[in-house]
Amino acid sequence: MTQESIKLDLQPIFVTVFSEPNILITENMNAKNLDKWNSVTHLTMIREVKLFYNIKLKELTLMKNVGDMIQIILGRNLGA
Amino acid sequence: MIPGFLEKIHSHLYSNIQDKTLSFIQNEQTSYSEFANLVLSKYNDFNTIPDSRIGIYIDNHIDVYAAIIACWLNGKSYVPINPKWPTQRIQQVCKIAQINYIYTTNTIYKEIDDIQYLSKNVLDGRDGSFQINLLDVHFDEAYVLFTSGTTGVPKGVSISFENLDSFFDGFELLNYQVTEHDRFLQMFDLTFDLSICSFMIPMVYGASFYTLNEQLVKPLALYNALETHQITFALMIPSSIHLLENYLSEVELPNLRVTQFCGEALTTNQLQKWQSCVPHCQIDNVYGPTEATIYCTRYIAYPNSNLLNQNGIVCIGKPLEKSTIYVNDEDEIFIGGHQVSKGYLNDALNLEAFTNIVGDRYYKSGDIGKSIDSDYYCLGRKDQQIKVQGYRIELTEIENAFGQLFPNQISVAIPKQNENNYTEIILFTLVNSELTENIILMQLKKVLPEYMMPRKVMFIEEFNYNINGKLDRNYLKQWTN
């Protein structure tokens, strides 16, 4: 699993969660620079990512942007 | 006389457990000795102020807690003010409470008529190397909390040191066996009196408290605080369970030994969900209005035992040691005893809210209740009780019926006057692809009498919660219009 492959996985999740067919995720994407990233979509996104990667909630709570999320998924994969 | 709780805090600050952690706020840890210095840096300045009340701009910052203790050690009362309130409200609060000074950690100062600011930056440089002498201090009022008034003017509830000391006496007899090793959750805005319990009790016992990480979305912040800080004692509102709803299956909190729920009606559904997450933890339902100092009754929900409830609302138990409860002929809960406030600062409201019964003073809570076998039940607000076709209806009863039918959904019933001036009930719930208005009404029809049936079900994306984390019903009332 690489950073790029994780981005490819996350892309459709973001399209669905944010209802934005043209969204293109970047590492620094966060609640400040994406209008639809609010408390509700944040929680929905975490739920979807959790399910997709079978990650524990506690691993994701401190995630603040897409880059953090990728690192958490990557770190978990490396550790497995 | 020195209040017992304050004497204990004072002894912890200046004697025996100085290196121990007191708090963890926004990733910053503070020991008792560091906190003692923060208190001292403010104590002397507060001492020179002739006023008996000081306003404090609330902020999730250790200095704010230190300012509160500095007020108390001076025998002064603090009035928490949220700097985010509209300027007009702050002005009203300052006028009613006759506040001339506001302490602030913030660099933004609102222009409020005749107010002088006591700035953290100025006070931090002051010499604090002197002794605090509590013996000569007169202890009268401890704090004033403002709540919304029906007339639009905020109501200032005055709580005395005696009220607060009585609360702590009652708390001690609840026998939680709190020790300096306990780690308390502090999830409340400081304008909400449950916050006092969440930071004061740890200080009294030499324990520590932990606030939520403001950088995180609230449910995650709550989960994160409980998990990361290995919280042992958590006072929460029942809405917290809604916030954690999607993550309850992952909640593993082996260190959590006590959860208290307060501030809203606790339903059997909510309680059972939390019990299944933390089966080893004592779960208590506590009850009380601000006017009776934090809370004044307690019910222990023992696992695997008969859970006392009325229409799905969990029992509030028995009064604390220095409180008395009385339910009048119209089912309203009256609260008496040493925890009851001496009154509102707005004198005109006192006659209506407080009364004497056989020589004892009682607060008329506005809550509907009943007593069965010396246990009390709070069944809702008088103002949430409506009449439809002549029938008296508790809106919470409809919500509870819904909760029993759809355990993973929450709902809020709101009354609405229709065009013919008849009262109808609108039921709000969250969007769920498996639920339709028809399904909900069909199911409800099986358990509710016709006059209690909602006229309409409205699906919304999310519920709004107010600053204290309680479900915001007024926001939904706007929707019905």
Q: What is the CATH number of the domain that holds B419?
A: 3.30.300.30
Q: What is the CATH number of the domain that holds B251?
A: 3.40.50.12780
Decide if the complex's ipTM is over 0.85.
no
Distance of residue B79 Cα from the nearest chain A Cα, in angstroms:
31
Q: Which pLDDT does position B416 carry in this prediction?
A: 87
Classify residue B132: in a domain, yes or no.
Answer: yes
Cα gap B300→B234, rounded to integer Å = 14
Domain coordinates of chain A in residue numbers? 3-79
Cα gap A80→B385, rounded to integer Å = 56
Inter-chain contacts counted by CB atoms under 8 A, chains A and B: 29
Alpha helix (H) residue ranges in B213-358: 218-228, 239-243, 268-277, 350-353
Burial code (b: 16+ CB inside 10 Å, e: under 16) for B317-350 equals bbbbbbbbbbbeeeeebbbbbbbbbbbbbbeebe
In the sheet where B411-417 sits, what is the strand order?
B411-417, B423-430, B456-460
CATH topology assigned to domain A3-79: 1.10.1200
B interface with A, Cβ–Cβ < 8 A, is 215-220, 223-224, 227, 246-247, 250, 461-462
Cβ–Cβ below 8 Å for B217 and A43: yes
Cα gap B306→B371, rounded to integer Å = 17
Same structural domain for residues B168 and B316?
yes
Q: Return the half-sphere exposure (C-beta side, CA atoms, 13 A cut-off) of residue B353.
A: 21
Give the nearest chain A residue to B217 (CA atoms): A39
Cβ–Cβ below 8 Å for B224 and A61: yes
Best of A41, A42, A43, A56 to mutate (most B CBs within 10 Å, chain B): A43
Cα gap B431→B108, rounded to integer Å = 40
Q: Which pLDDT does position B128 carry in this prediction?
A: 54
CB B160 within 8 A of CB B140: yes
Residue corresponding to tokens 């409830």: B309
Give the nearest chain A residue to B245 (CA atoms): A43
Q: Which pLDDT does position A79 carry in this prediction?
A: 55
Single-letter code of the amino acid located at B410: I
Closest of B234, B246, B224 to residue B27, by C-alpha: B224
A54/B contact by beta carbon, under 8 A: no
pLDDT(A10) > 60: yes
- Start-to-end CA distance of chain A, whole Å, equals 12
Classify residue B149: in a domain, yes or no.
Answer: no
Cβ–Cβ below 8 Å for A40 and B220: no
Partners of B465 on chain A (C-beta within 8 Å) are none
Q: Which pLDDT does position B102 carry in this prediction?
A: 95
Cα gap B226→B468, rounded to integer Å = 18
Cα B378 from chain centroid? 16
Classify residue B364: in a domain, yes or no.
Answer: yes
Cβ–Cβ below 8 Å for A61 and B216: yes
Q: Please identify, among B382, B410, B431, the residue that sits at the C-terminal boundary of a domain.
A: B382
How many Cβ atoms sit within 10 Å of the Cβ of residue B386? 16
Cβ–Cβ below 8 Å for B217 and A64: no
Cα B274 from chain centroid? 19
Which residues does residue B335 pair with via DSSP β-bridges, in sequence order?
A: B325, B363
Share of chain B residues as helix, strand and coil, in percent rounded to the nearest 5: 35, 30, 40
Single-letter code of the amino acid located at B270: Q
pLDDT tens for each residue of chain B, 481 residues long: 899 999 999 988 877 677 899 999 988 999 998 999 899 889 888 988 999 999 999 989 999 999 999 999 999 999 999 988 888 889 999 999 999 999 999 776 778 888 999 887 666 655 555 577 888 899 999 999 998 765 667 899 999 999 999 999 999 999 999 999 999 999 999 999 999 999 999 999 999 999 999 888 888 889 999 999 999 999 999 888 877 877 888 888 999 999 999 988 898 988 999 999 999 999 999 999 999 999 999 999 998 889 999 988 999 999 999 999 999 998 999 999 999 999 999 888 899 999 999 889 999 999 999 999 999 999 888 877 777 766 777 788 888 889 889 988 889 999 988 776 678 899 999 988 889 999 999 999 888 878 889 999 999 988 888 776 778 888 888 877 6
Classify residue B145: in a domain, yes or no.
Answer: no
Q: Which pLDDT does position B129 carry in this prediction?
A: 54
Q: Return phi, psi of residue A16, to 5°.
A: -70, -50
Q: Please identify, among B108, B139, B170, the residue that sits at the C-terminal boundary of a domain.
A: B139
Partners of B227 on chain A (C-beta within 8 Å) are 58, 61
Q: Which pLDDT does position A77 carry in this prediction?
A: 64
Q: Please identify, among B382, B398, B433, the residue that sits at the C-terminal boundary of a domain.
A: B382
- Write out the DSSP string of B220-247: HHHHHHHHHTT-SEEEE-THHHHHTGGG
Same structural domain for residues B94 and B235?
no
How many Cβ atoms sit within 10 Å of the Cβ of residue A58? 16
Same structural domain for residues B266 and B349?
yes
Same structural domain for residues B113 and B224?
no
Q: Which pLDDT does position B90 carry in this prediction?
A: 92
Same structural domain for residues B93 and B173?
no
Q: Which pLDDT does position B106 carry in this prediction?
A: 78
Q: Return the half-sphere exposure (C-beta side, CA atoms, 13 A cut-off) of residue B291.
A: 23
SS3 B177: coil
Same structural domain for residues B261 and B296?
yes
Same structural domain for residues B287 and B335?
yes
When CB atoms are compared, the residue of A47, A62, A64 closest to B246 is A47
Residues 6+ apart with CB under 8 A from B47: B74
Domains of chain B: total: 3
CB B370 within 8 A of CB B377: yes
Cα gap A71→B289, rounded to integer Å = 47
Mean per-residue pLDDT of chain A: 87
The token duo for B380 is 């809702």
A80/B contact by beta carbon, under 8 A: no
Partners of A47 on chain B (C-beta within 8 Å) are 246
Same structural domain for residues B117 and B190?
no
Classify residue B10: in a domain, yes or no.
Answer: yes
* Greatest Cα-to-Cα distance within chain A, rounded to the nearest angstrom: 35
Rg (C-alpha) for chain B, rounded Å, is 23
Burial code (b: 16+ CB inside 10 Å, e: under 16) for B183-220 equals bbbbbbebbbbbbbbbbbbbbbbbbbbbbbbeebbbbb
Partners of A61 on chain B (C-beta within 8 Å) are 216, 220, 223-224, 227
Cα gap B105→B124, rounded to integer Å = 10
Same structural domain for residues B339 and B238?
yes
Burial code (b: 16+ CB inside 10 Å, e: under 16) for B110-133 equals bebeebebbebeebeeeebeeebe
Q: Which pLDDT does position B423 carry in this prediction?
A: 81
The token duo for A78 is 């490396």
How many Cβ atoms sit within 10 Å of the Cβ of residue B360? 13
When CB atoms are compared, the residue of A40, A56, A62 closest to B250 is A56
Q: Which is more confident, A56 or B254?
A: B254
C-alpha dist (Å) from residue B323 to A30, B193, B335, B336:
50, 17, 7, 6
Give the nearest chain B residue to A50 (CA atoms): B247
Q: What is the CATH number of the domain that holds B116?
A: 3.40.50.980
Which residues does residue B457 pair with via DSSP β-bridges, in sequence order?
A: B427
Residues 6+ apart with CB under 8 A from B111: B87
Partners of B230 on chain A (C-beta within 8 Å) are none
Q: Which pLDDT does position B64 carry in this prediction?
A: 96
Same structural domain for residues B378 and B393?
no
Residues 6+ apart with CB under 8 A from B161: B3, B6, B72, B139, B140, B141, B142
Domain coverage including residue B115: 1-139
